[in-house]
């Protein structure tokens, strides 16, 4: 018959194994939340990249229509607004794509999200304001299709010019709407980044990885 002293080590070992399993289960829950949050951030950034690439194509087509589509009368403000907005969207596409594939740290992502969301909102409004066809700037209308006097009380506007102008207005309105949507998505990603940073689930900077490796090496030498 086994004595109490013979059974005690077995009980202690079982308790150790049970405690080890509980510790593993405890670590798996934060790890799962971390992966879900990181997945949401990456998916959102990929969606932003896709929208930025689509918007770049729309703006490029708009610029071609403004400069080569018809013999418009005054297009300087519209052409400039579209050209600047196209460059901004292209930069946002490149940077947002790089943050996904390079897994850049939060110290880079957070200022980038703030800057690009503000810039996109400002120039979306600029596209609908100063850059809008037939906009009135400082009391002077910048007319795309200038009317022609054919005689007394006979003011004629080329219907083909008006149709081309209306197409440009639609494209510019859609472009501004997508730009605002991208800016709002960047704000949402910014909030996710701040949440992950607050939980300690993202890298603050590039130096965190070497520091962690150094700590692991020191612990191994001590052992």
Question: In whole numbers, what is the pLDDT of the chain averaged over residues?
Answer: 78
User: Percent of the chain beyond pLDDT 90?
Assistant: 39
The answer on pLDDT for 221 being more than 90 is: no
Report CA-CA distances (Å) from 68 to 60, 62, 216.
Answer: 12, 10, 63
Query: If pLDDT is split at 50, 70 and 90, which confidence band does 195 have?
Result: confident
Higher pLDDT, 139 or 214: 139
pLDDT, average across residues 78-103: 93
pLDDT, average across residues 138-165: 75
Q: What is the pLDDT of residue 4?
A: 47
The answer on pLDDT for 56 being more than 50 is: yes
The answer on pLDDT for 77 being more than 60 is: yes
Measured distance CA(178)–CA(1) in Å, rounded: 80
Q: What is the pLDDT of residue 223?
A: 44
> Against a cut of 0.75, is the pTM above it?
no
Kindly give, in sequence order, each residue whose CB lies less than 8 Å from that of residue 97, ignoring residues fewer than 6 positions away: 45, 49
Kindly give, in sequence order, each residue whose CB lies less than 8 Å from that of residue 53, ignoring residues fewer than 6 positions away: 93
pLDDT tens digit sequence for 110-149:
999 999 999 999 999 999 988 898 877 766 777 888 777 6
What residue segments make up the domains of the chain, in order of their start? 39-199
């Amino acid at each position: 018959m086994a004595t109490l002293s013979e059974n005690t080590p077995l009980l202690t070992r079982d308790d150790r194994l049970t405690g080890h399993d509980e510790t593993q289960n405890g670590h798996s829950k934060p790890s799962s939340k971390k992966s879900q949050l990181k997945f949401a951030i990456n998916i959102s950034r990929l969606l932003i990249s896709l929208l930025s690439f689509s918007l770049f194509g729309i703006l490029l087509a708009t610029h071609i229509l403004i400069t080569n589509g018809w013999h418009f009368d005054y297009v300087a403000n519209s052409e400039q607004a579209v050209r600047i907005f196209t460059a901004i969207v292209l930069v946002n596409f490149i940077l947002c794509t790089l943050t996904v594939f390079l897994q850049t740290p939060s110290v880079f992502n957070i200022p980038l999200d703030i800057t690009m969301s503000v810039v996109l909102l400002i120039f979306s409004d600029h596209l609908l304001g100063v850059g809008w066809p037939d906009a009135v700037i400082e009391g002077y209308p910048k007319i795309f299709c200038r009317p022609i006097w054919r005689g007394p009380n006979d003011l004629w506007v080329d219907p083909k010019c008006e149709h081309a102008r209306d197409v440009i207005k639609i494209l510019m309105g859609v472009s501004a709407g997508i730009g605002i949507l991208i800016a709002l998505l960047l704000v949402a990603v910014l909030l996710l980044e701040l949440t992950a940073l607050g939980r300690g689930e993202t890298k603050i900077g590039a130096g965190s990885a070497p520091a962690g490796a150094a700590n692991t090496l020191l612990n191994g030498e001590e052992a």
